[in-house]
């Protein structure tokens, strides 16, 4: 069964949700990963990209996302500060570029930035572009068209805005804004000429049907890159007692996104250290072709040199996408 579906995907034919259900029910996990790896090799070869981010504005977010350490509804002890100065944003980006990152993203807390903050981001982006070849991304909450065009003109080529989970499960995670607002932001970014990076978090309490629903929607929205995170339960959030999903299940999650989005970039981001543990190097065999290096928003990642060594040991090549 798995070989027939892989051949179908490689031919450019779509896979139905029922076929993914059959794979999950009837196939061994290592066979599912084998299939995802064949698809990755077909569409992406052995080329890998390495993302990095900066927590450019932290805390006091007005949204009530149950997993988030930065929500004003949670008491997590997270640092709270306004948007960093332009000079600090530039310094962090250039440092990460020197360490091997191919992409750098400005990430801010809150539902939407002010025009003043957008202007600072744009000024920083212009300086970074003049001093390095790192690709620039931004994750600044909800977006209107004027803001989006300003960001694109400043050299930010990709906008990140996670849907987090499926539409049918979203109200279990967030109640302070509508799912359609997130979809609208994706469409605005595309209209402004930016690529879109959008994915979600595995392990919020959803099941595989919700994961398949999300993967299919991302395909329908034609996003360019799909970041996959794994819940790292943070004390003080509403999901602080949520158990980690097992490493094998996490790898199968990656694989199903590759089956349903065969030609898209799939990046493994936050939570991989605690969820995958010693199986982190398996993410590429499971279908990923990107990895986030360095620290995350409120939690620390692995040492960058360890990740770069892992990629090199696997015979993979880091390139600029």
**Confidence label for 293 from pLDDT (cuts 50, 70 and 90):** confident
How far are the Cα atoms of 116, 154, 265, 315 from residue 197, in angstroms, in the given order?
A: 24, 18, 9, 26
Q: Please check whether residue 1 lies inside any domain of the structure.
A: no
The DSSP output letter for 200 is: E
Q: Please check whether residue 169 lies inside any domain of the structure.
A: yes
Q: Print the domain residue range for 312.
A: 15-318
308's tokens:
């770069």
- Quote the percentage of the chain above a pLDDT of 90: 83
Q: Is the dihedral of CA 47, 100, 135, 147 positive or negative?
A: positive
Give the per-residue pLDDT at 321: 57
Beta-ladder partners of 137: 105, 158
Domain count, the chain: 1
Report d(CA 297, CA 61) in Å as an integer. 13
Mean pLDDT, rounded, for 208-213? 97
Q: Please check whether residue 2 lies inside any domain of the structure.
A: no
Report d(CA 21, CA 23) in Å as an integer. 5
**CB-neighbour burial class of residue 150 (10 A; exposed 0-12, middle 13-18, buried 19+):** middle
Report d(CA 176, CA 236) in Å as an integer. 19
**Confidence label for 295 from pLDDT (cuts 50, 70 and 90):** low
Q: For the residues of 89-140, what is the DSSP string, one character each?
A: HHHHHHHHHHHT-SEEEEEE-SSB--HHHHHHHHHHHHHHHHH---EEEEE-
Q: Please check whether residue 3 lies inside any domain of the structure.
A: no
Report d(CA 321, CA 314) in Å as an integer. 19
pTM of the prediction?
Answer: 0.94
Q: Please check whether residue 230 lies inside any domain of the structure.
A: yes
Query: Please, are residues 248 and 286 in contact by the beta-carbon 8 Å criterion?
Result: no
Mean pLDDT, rounded, for 202-218? 97
Beta-ladder partners of 136: 104, 156
Return the CATH number at 285: 3.20.20.70
**Confidence label for 299 from pLDDT (cuts 50, 70 and 90):** low
Q: pLDDT tens across 85-95, in order?
A: 999 999 999 99
Question: Which residues contact residue 208 at a Cβ distance below 8 angstroms, ignoring those fewer than 6 apart?
Answer: 21, 24, 256
Closest listed residue to residue 272, CA positions, set 314, 230, 303, 226: 230
Mean pLDDT, rounded, for 185-192? 97
Mean pLDDT, rounded, for 241-254? 97
Q: pLDDT tens across 38-90, in order?
A: 999 999 999 998 888 889 999 889 999 999 998 999 988 888 999 999 999 99
Q: Please check whether residue 64 lies inside any domain of the structure.
A: yes
Give the per-residue pLDDT at 296: 63
**The pLDDT of residue 282 is above 60:** yes
């Amino acid at each position: 069964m798995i070989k027939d579906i892989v051949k179908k995907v490689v031919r450019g034919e779509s896979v139905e949700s029922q076929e993914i259900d059959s794979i999950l029910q009837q196939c061994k996990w290592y066979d599912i990963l084998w299939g995802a790896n064949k698809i990755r090799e077909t569409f992406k070869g052995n080329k890998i990209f390495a993302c990095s981010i900066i927590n450019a504005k932290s805390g006091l977010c007005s949204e009530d996302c149950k997993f988030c350490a930065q929500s004003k509804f949670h008491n997590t002890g997270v640092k709270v500060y306004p948007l960093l100065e332009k000079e600090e944003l530039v310094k962090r980006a250039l440092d990460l570029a020197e360490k091997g990152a191919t992409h750098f993203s400005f990430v801010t807390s809150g539902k939407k930035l002010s025009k003043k903050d957008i202007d600072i981001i744009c000024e920083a982006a212009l300086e970074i572009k003049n001093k390095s070849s790192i690709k620039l991304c931004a994750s600044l909450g909800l977006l209107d068209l004027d803001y989006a065009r300003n960001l694109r003109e400043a050299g930010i080529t990709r906008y990140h805005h996670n849907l987090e989970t499926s539409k049918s499960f979203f109200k279990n995670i967030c109640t302070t804004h509508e799912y359609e607002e997130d979809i609208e932001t994706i469409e605005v970014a595309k209209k402004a000429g930016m690529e879109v990076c959008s994915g979600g978090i595995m392990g919020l309490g959803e099941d595989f049907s919700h994961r398949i629903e999300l993967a299919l929607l991302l395909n329908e929205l034609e996003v360019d890159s799909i970041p996959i995170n794994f819940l790292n339960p943070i004390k003080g959030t509403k999901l602080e007692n949520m158990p980690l999903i097992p490493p094998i299940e996490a790898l199968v999650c990656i694989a199903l996104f590759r089956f349903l989005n065969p030609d898209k970039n799939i990046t493994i981001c936050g939570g991989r250290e605690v969820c995958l543990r010693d199986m982190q190097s398996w993410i590429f065999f499971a279908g990923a072709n990107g990895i986030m290096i360095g620290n995350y928003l409120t939690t620390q990642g692995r040492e960058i040199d360890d990740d770069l060594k892992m990629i090199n040991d696997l015979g993979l090549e880091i390139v600029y996408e």
